A and B are shown apart, each in its own frame.
Chain A
Amino acid sequence: MKKILSLLLTAALLLGMCSFTVAVADEPMEIVFFDDAANYNGEQTGWFAKVVLDRFNIKLNIIATQVIGDEVFATRSADGDLGDIIIMDKTKFADIVKAGLVKDISDKIGDLTNLQPFMTQIDAFNQKFLGKEAGVYYGIPDQMTDTSAVGLTGEMIYSSPQVRWDLYKAVGMPEVKDIDGLLDLLVKIHEIHPTNENGDPAYPFSLWPDWDNGDNMSGPANVVQLTTWFGDKMKGSALLKADNTFVKLYDKDSGYYKITKFINKAYQLGLVDPESFEQDWNALPTKISTGRVDLLWYNWQQGFWNSQDRLDNGTAFQTIPVEGFNFYADADTFYGGDRAWGIGSKVEGEKYDKIIEFLNWYASPEGLTFEHCGIEGLNYTVGEDGKFIPYKDNALMDNLPVPEEYGGGGYQDGNNAINQWLLASICTNPNTGETYDMKYWASYIAKNMTEMKKEWQERFGANDPVDWMKKNNKVIISPNCIAEMETDSDDIAVLRNSIDQVLAQYTWQLFACENDDDFEAKWDAMVAEIDGLDYETLYNFDVAKWQVQVDAKIAAASAK
Chain B
Amino acid sequence: MDKTAMSKQDLQMRKKIKTSVSDRIIDIITYIVYSLFAFVCIYPFYYIIINSISANNLSERGKIIFWPQEIHFTNYENVIKIPGLWDAARTSILRTVIGTVLTVMIAAFLGYMFTRQTMWHRKLWYRMVTVTMYINAGLIPWFLTMKLLGMTNNFWGYIFPMIIQPFYIVLCKTYCESVPPALQDAAEIDGAGTLRVFWSIMLPVIKPILATIAVFAAVNQWNAFQDTLLLMTKKELYTLQYVLFQYINQASSLKALVSNNTSSSAMMASLAHAATATSIRMTVTVVVVFPIMCVYPFFQKFFTKGIMIGAVKG
A71 touches B230 (CB 8 A): yes
Determine chain B's interface SS by DSSP, over half rule. Answer: helix
A12 touches B257 (CB 8 A): no
Decide if A136 is an interface residue (CB 8 Å cutoff): no
Residues of A within 8 A of B97 (CB): 8-9, 12
A72 touches B256 (CB 8 A): no
Chain A positions 199-235 with a Cβ under 8 Å from a chain B Cβ? 200, 210-211, 214-215
Nearest chain B CB to A145 CB, angstrom units: 10
Decide if A195 is an interface residue (CB 8 Å cutoff): no
The CA-CA distance from A45 to B235 in the complex, in Å, is 13
Residue positions of B touching A, CB distance < 8 A: 57, 60-61, 83-84, 90-91, 94, 97-98, 101, 139-140, 143-144, 147, 155, 229-230, 233, 235-236, 245-246, 249-250, 252-270, 272-273, 276-278
B94 touches A211 (CB 8 A): no
The CA-CA distance from A72 to B231 in the complex, in Å, is 9
Nearest chain A CB to B74 CB, angstrom units: 12
Decide if A69 is an interface residue (CB 8 Å cutoff): yes
The CA-CA distance from A32 to B153 in the complex, in Å, is 15
Which residue on A lies nearest to B99, using beta carbons?
Answer: A12
Nearest chain A CB to B28 CB, angstrom units: 39
A285 touches B272 (CB 8 A): yes
Residues of B within 8 A of A13 (CB): 98
Interface centre among A20, A285, A412 (most CB of B within 10 A): A285
Which residue on B lies nearest to A17, using beta carbons?
Answer: B155
Q: How many A-B residue pairs have CB under 8 A?
A: 142
The CA-CA distance from A158 to B268 in the complex, in Å, is 14
- Of A63, A68, A78, A300, the residue contacting B258 (CB under 8 A) is A300
Residues of B within 8 A of A16 (CB): 94, 98, 155
Chain A positions 274-333 with a Cβ under 8 Å from a chain B Cβ? 281-283, 285-286, 288-290, 298-304, 306-307, 333
Given contacts A8-B97, A41-B246, A282-B278, 14 further A-B contacts (CB under 8 A): A20-B236, A41-B249, A64-B253, A66-B253, A74-B140, A75-B230, A282-B277, A299-B265, A302-B265, A303-B266, A304-B268, A397-B269, A419-B257, A419-B263
Residues of B within 8 A of A377 (CB): none
Residue positions of A touching B, CB distance < 8 A: 5, 8-9, 12-13, 15-16, 19-20, 32, 37, 39-43, 45, 61, 63-64, 66-69, 71-72, 74-75, 78-79, 143, 158, 198, 200, 210-211, 214-215, 281-283, 285-286, 288-290, 298-304, 306-307, 333, 337, 372, 393, 396-398, 412, 419, 424-425, 437-438
Nearest chain A CB to B157 CB, angstrom units: 12
B258 touches A39 (CB 8 A): no
Which residue on B lies nearest to A211, using beta carbons?
Answer: B259
Residues of A within 8 A of B252 (CB): 282
Given contacts A15-B94, A39-B253, A281-B255, contact A333 B262 (CB under 8 A): yes
A75 touches B94 (CB 8 A): no
The CA-CA distance from A12 to B143 in the complex, in Å, is 27
- Of B229, B230, B236, B253, the residue contacting A19 (CB under 8 A) is B236
**8 tightest A-B CB contacts, nearest first:** A303-B268, A303-B269, A397-B270, A286-B60, A75-B143, A39-B253, A66-B256, A67-B249
Nearest chain A CB to B153 CB, angstrom units: 10
